[in-house]
Amino acid sequence: MEEIRYRDNRLYCEETFLEDVARQFGTPLYVYSKSSLLDHCRHIERTFDDIEHLSCYAVKANGNREILRLLANEGIGADAGSIGELVLSIEAGFLPEKITFSGVGKGDDEIEFALRNNIHSFNVESEEEINVISEIAERTWTMANILLRVNLDIQTPTHRYTSTGHKHSKFGIERDRALEIAKRISAFPGIKLIGIHSHIGSQITDAETFRNAANEVVAFIQELRSYGIDIKDLNFGGGFGVQYHDFVSHPLLPNDGIQTDSGVTTVNLLKSILPVLKESNCRILIQPGRSIVAHAGVLLTKVLYIKESGGKKFIIVDAGMNDLIRPSLYQAYHQIAPLTLYQSTHELVDVVGPLCETGDFFAQDRTLPAVHRGDFLALLCAGAYGFALSSNYNGRQRPAEIMVDGSECSIIRNRETVQQG
C-alpha cells in the first residue's frame, strides 16, 4: 500500500527511482503512485464490509483529472465544493447520482448547474441557502435532495484552521435550529430532506473524537425520527488523519520519535466509528480526501544553495510555498528525505524556498542528513492539499504532475510556462 520506499540508499516510487524522474522532468515536481492511490481507496471501501454506504472522494484534496478518472473507475462517488469541482467530477466519469455538493457559500449558478445535472445531494449550511435552493429547484422543475450539515459543537484536536465542528465555526447549522428547519421542511417546495451531514475537521487522528461526534450525530438522527422526520442518509464527512511523521525510514535518516500521528490509519479510525454509525440504520456516506491521496504523492525539489547566517544553516531549494503551502499555512509537518542517501552526518537546518516571504519554509530547526547543491529531496505525503493549494505567487509557474505505474511514468499535468503563469 505504501509505495514510496528506500531500496538501499535510493528513494523509489513503486519500481521507479525518483531521482531519475526528477532529472527527466525537472523540479519542483509532484509525483504520484497509482498503486498507492488505488490501494488507499480500496482499503477504505473494504472496511465497510456489507454496510450500505457511499464514499465520495473530496475533490478539493487533489483535483488532477487523471487521479479523478482512476478513482471514478473504482465506482466510488465524489464530493465537490464548487462548480469547477462538479465539472471536473462529471468529466472524470463520476456518476451524478454519486456526487455530493458541499460548501458554506454555494452560488446560484452553481446550485442550478448541480440541479440540472441531477447530483445525489446538497450538504446545506443555512436556512437562507435552503430557501435559495428551493426557489431554483422550482424554477428549473427539479427537486433537490438535501442533507442538513449540523454543527454539534465538537472540539477537535487539529490545527484551528482545519477544525470545523466547534460552535464558533462558520460551518453547519446549530442543533436546535436544524431541528426547527427539519420540522418545517415542507415549507420549502423544491426540497427533499434525505439526511444529516457532519464534517468536524481535517487531519484528525484521535478515534475518541470521531466516536463522540458519531454518537452525537446518531442521537440527533434519533431525535429527528422521534418527530416523525424520515432520515435515510448519514453523511459523516471526511477528516480521517494520516501519518506524516516517520513515513519512510532508513538507518541514515533521523527518527521523528513518537508523534500524535504515529501508527494512525484510516481503516482503524473507520473501524472505531462504523459500529456507532450503524446504529442509525442509515446508509452511511463519507467524504475522505487526504486519506486517499496524501500518501500517494511526493513533491520533489532540488537544493539550490546552502547558506549560513545568524548562527543558522539554510538549505535553499527550488520549490516554494507557492508549490506546497501547508508548512507555511498550518505549520504542517512534511518529512524531508534525500532521493539518494549518502551522508551519515546529520545537521540542524531550515529548509526554505526561493520566495520573498519569511514564511516560505518547509522545515525549521530540523535535523537532516547533510546535503549539497544539486542534491534532490522529497517532501513526503504531499498528495493531498499540495498541488491543489498551489499558486502563481511571485510569478512562479505551477509544477508538473507525474503518475508512476510500476516502472512507467506519465505526465498527468504539464508544467506551466511563463506565458501561462
Counting contacts by CB under 6 A, is residue 30 touching ligand LLP? no
Burial class (CB in 10 A: 0-12, 13-18, 19+), 420: exposed
The neighbouring-strand residues paired with 285 are: 54, 235
Q: Which CB, 140 or 162, lies closer to ligand LLP?
A: 162
The yes or no reply on residue 236 touching ligand LLP (CB under 6 A) is: no
Question: Is 288 an interacting residue with respect to ligand LLP (CB under 6 A)?
Answer: yes
Please say if 356 is a catalytic residue: yes
Pattern 147-166, binding to ligand LLP, x per CB under 6 A?
---------------x----
Under rule CB under 6 A, residue 48 binds ligand LLP: no
CA 347 to chain centre: 32
Of 113, 120, 71, give the one whose Cα is nearest residue 96: 120
Of residues 103 and 338, the one with the C-beta less far from ligand LLP: 103
Q: Which of residues 213-232 bind ligand LLP (CB under 6 A)?
A: none
Encoded one letter per residue, x for contact with ligand LLP by CB under 6 A and - for no contact, window 69-108 reads: ----------x----------------------x------
206 contacts ligand LLP (rule: CB under 6 A)? no
Alpha carbon distance 375, 352 (integer Å): 14
Q: 138 vs 31, 109, 123, 142, 191, CA distance in Å?
A: 46, 15, 18, 6, 9
Stretch that binds ligand LLP, among 246-254, 288-296, 349-357, 391-399 (CB under 6 A): 288-296
Least gap, CB of 199 to ligand LLP (angstroms) = 4
- Name residue 307's beta-bridge partners: 314
* Binding residues for ligand LLP restricted to 290-329, rule: CB under 6 A: 290-291, 326
Where do contacts with ligand LLP occur on this chain (CB under 6 A)? 58, 60-61, 79, 102, 162, 199, 202-203, 237-240, 287-291, 326, 330, 384-385
